[in-house]
Structure formats: C-alpha cells, structure tokens
Structure 1
C-alpha cells in the first residue's frame, strides 16, 4: 500500500509492524517524511532509509518515502515490513 503524506502527519509517531514506536515525523515534503529516530529504531530500518543530517543543530533524521508506509491513522504512521 502506498500512503499519501500531508503536513497534518507532522508530529505523528512512526511505528514498526509490531506497533513499537521507532520515531516521530518531523517534517513532510512532497512524497517524503523526515523522521527523527527514536531509541527503538533498529539498524535494519535505518539501513533501508536515507539518512539526512541537519547541519544547523546536528540532528539526525531519516527520509521515509510513501512507499515504505503501510497505513496512516489519526495518530501514527505504520511502516511496511522491511
């Protein structure tokens, strides 16, 4: 399934297929969300997403393409199985 991201998705939890939170949507662009990783984001997920380091404040975040998303609900973005 391919979901359509909107700015309304900013601030939503990103969860894996087990419902475990792995990050938060920091910003949404055209067809991509920028995810601030949580402590539970596995190396497996990180390796499949593109890393983007914000030079201004040293924050690390990851590009989440719409085709990696299984479902978007009112309060979370659920990833497809990687």
Structure 2
C-alpha cells in the first residue's frame, strides 16, 4: 500500500495481520509513520520488521510496504 501519511494518523493502533497490537503511531515525518512499540508486541513480529537486535529503540519507522489497511482507529500491517 502506498499512502501519504499525515498527522491524522497520530495515535492510531498498529496491529499485525492477526490483530495483535504492535504499538501506536507516535509521529509522522516526511510522510512516514513512526511507531512506538507497545509492551505486548510480539518479538517475532518485531524481528520481521527489523525492529530488534543490538539497537533496540522505542520508536521505529514503519516502511510503507508493510501497511495493508488503514481504518479510523488502526493501521494494519502485513506481518
């Protein structure tokens, strides 16, 4: 999905393909979503997004390629 993200996406829940919450949209910079990882985020999902490893940050850029659907309250990802 190619989308132009804006501030209207701030605060939306980011969920994986099973509906499990990964985090929330914390920032939008240059049309890109930045997600604050939630405490219950699945470690396998974080690994697939390359959001784990030696540099463990709290907020990560979500590449457009992983976004499958956006509703009024959620951003669903393909992973």
TM > 0.5: yes
Matched residue of 2:69: which SS? strand
TM-score (normalizing by structure 1): 0.75
Moved runs in structure 1, 4+ residues, more than 3 A? 49-53
Instruction: Mark the CA change 1:4 to 1:31 in structure 2 (over 3 Å): closer, same or farther.
Output: same
TM-score (normalizing by structure 2): 0.78
Gaps of 5+ in 2: none
Q: RMSD of the TM alignment (CA)?
A: 1.9
1:20-49 CA-to-partner distances (Å, cap 9, x unmatched) read 211010001124211111122122222224
Structure with bigger strand share is 1
